[in-house]
Structure 1
Amino acid sequence: MKLKLSIIILTTLLLQACLYPDSQKVENAPTNDEQLNEVQQAVNQYKDQNGGLLPIKNRGQQTPIFIKYPIDFTKLSDANILGQPPGNSYERGGPYSYVILDPENEVEVKVADVRVNQKLRSINYEINIYRNENLYPPYGEMINKGYFNINLEAIELDEVPTVKSPYSGQKLEIIINHEGKPLVDYRPDVYRILEKENINEYDGDLRYLLTDHYPIVPSYSPPMSLVDGEIIFKEHVSQTTE
């Protein structure tokens, strides 16, 4: 009897592995229109029922603009609007944090890839160790004013640290600003859109090209402007979506 029971259990586990391959696990679930629309509708309903208030968590003024307004799913649940967060959300072990872009106007729901933050946190640890010993960040070659490549030798790295682009899947380099804060260089993804859409001029922050074309925000990124056909990192660029 025990042998038969063991065989049944093993068979069940094998069937589950076939029915739920790696591509369908929560942590690998892609963001999709259905999930985004569901959360968007819930946010809109909450806003209508609460005099324009949004179901967001409080974040400090220094929080990067694209992750400054994360959705508080507890508020949506308490209001009996949304039973639980989407399966690919960070709250349920997934790779995406649901955020609100432009809360003053469009109130559009997007997602941020939390794996980017996890990689930057690891690099920031190495940067802080170096800064504590040398009183300044591991500046490498200057990209343009206020932004630098990382000095690999200074923090004993064999290759340029990268993150996987949530847009193209390609490797994007991690850079630092004048404060030594690690950021993602999204220029390759932006150049790809500029070329595809045949855009030669653009006023404002180029990061909004990414949010216009994708449901994912470029979290932990420097503002970017288009100057004579070249993408330039800017220290101060309007953060509106005009």
Structure 2
Amino acid sequence: MKLKLGIILVITSVILSACLYPDSQRVENTPTNDEQLEQVQNAVHQYQEQHNGLLPIKNRDQNTPLFIKYPIDFNKLKESNIMGQPPANSYERGGAYSYVIIDPENKAIVKVSDVRVNQKLRTVNYEINLYRNENLYPPYGEMLFKNYFKLDYESLGIDQPFTVKSPYTRNKLDVIINAKGQALVDYRPDVYKLLEENNIESYDGDLRNLLVQEYPLVPTYSPPMYLEDGEIIFKHENKTKE
């Protein structure tokens, strides 16, 4: 009788735990920690040693945005007997994060991309394409910088502006559009916060690199950002994939 009661209590506890923890606190949605990154990083380097410098990555089109261009292929790591399973929060295991490699030609650094950003932008691009099919041009709103615009929500017939939850601060970030009609995320609030916290008054180069240096996450679908006279501006560069 006591054994049966104990089993019932355990089952009840598990069910209550699943109900009480919101989605944001479940393992698959928790941010990547240093231990997970180090584990995958070591696996990538071990794979390179075994395969003459090749990286365990999936093939992606050349037009794939810069920070998600080299996603890690965990099947290759498994087939090489290097890593049994991807981390619990990885996209491959139903999680919210895709493990990617940046600087593939040198250090091959492992970072993660929040796939929920990709999913939200997929919805936005769908609305943009519907509009383009009827009007032949994207729903450009106010110009922010050369080649970058706000969305014209009135023309889209949408009351609430599209926003994305920041993978860095969890605050809402605006969705913008570039000259090609592609939806992007405006990460400027996150960068301004980072500049203020670190007392950075000048920065040479793309500010997205600062985000990558400070966090395990990459700024998915973002325009190149530069600091000029204390203001963050978007600057289109042909050699830089957004």
Distance 1:106 1:239 in 2: 19
Gaps in structure 2 of 5+ consecutive residues: none
Count how many residue pairs are aligned between Structure 1 and Structure 2: 237
- Equivalent residue, structure 2, for 1:117: 118
Distance 1:78 1:144, change over 3 A: same
By how many angstroms is 1:30 displaced?
A: 2.2
> SS of the counterpart of 1:198?
coil
TM-score, normalization by structure 1: 0.92
Distance 1:171 1:213, change over 3 A: same
- Matched with 1:96 is 97
State the distance in 2 between where 1:104 and 1:214 align. Answer: 21
Contact 1:42 1:76 (8 Å CA) reproduced: yes
Residues 16/134 of structure 1: CA separation in 2 closer, same or farther (3 Å cut): same
Deviations 1:111-151 (A, max 9, x none): 00000000000011111110100000000000010000000
Question: Is 1:235 the equivalent of 2:233?
Answer: no
* Number of the residue aligned with 2:139: 138
- Give 1:199's aligned amino acid: I
Runs of 4+ aligned residues of structure 1 deviating over 6 Å after TM superposition are 7-10
RMSD of equivalent CA atoms: 2.1
Distance change >3 Å, CA 68–CA 25, structure 1 → 2: same
Q: Distance in 2 between matches of 1:100 and 1:12?
A: 41
Judged with a 3 Å threshold, the aligned counterparts in structure 2 of structure 1 residues 11 and 41 are, in CA distance, closer, same or farther, namely same
Q: Distance in 2 between matches of 1:196 and 1:227?
A: 18
Question: Which residue of structure 2 aligns with residue 41 of structure 1?
Answer: 42
Deviation per residue, 1:185-234 (Å, 9 max, x gap): 00001111111122222111110110000000001000111111111101
2:183 — aligned with what?
A: 182
- Give the AA of the match of 1:234: K
Answering whether residue 122 of structure 2 is matched by residue 129 of structure 1, we say no
Q: Which residue of 1 aligns with 2:15?
A: 17
More divergent stretch after superposition (20-29 vs 109-118): 20-29
CA distance in 2, matches of 1:219, 1:231: 18
Give the corresponding residue for 2:195: 194
> Quick one: distance in 2 between partners of 1:154 and 1:239?
30
Measured in 2, the distance between the counterparts of 1:129 and 1:29 equals: 34
1:162 — aligned with what?
A: 163
Instruction: State whether structure 2 residue 214 is matched by structure 1 residue 216.
Output: no
- The aligned amino acid for 1:91 is E
Distance verdict in 2 for CA 1:36–1:52, change over 3 Å: same
SS in 2 for 1:153: helix
The answer to whether the Cα contact below 8 Å between 1:57 and 1:70 also exists between their aligned partners in 2 is: yes
Alpha-carbon deviation of 1:72?
Answer: 0.3
Once residues 55 and 40 of structure 1 are traced to their aligned partners in structure 2, the CA distance between those partners, rounded to angstroms, is 11
Contact 1:205 / 1:238 at 8 angstroms: preserved in 2?
no
Gaps of 5+ in 1: none
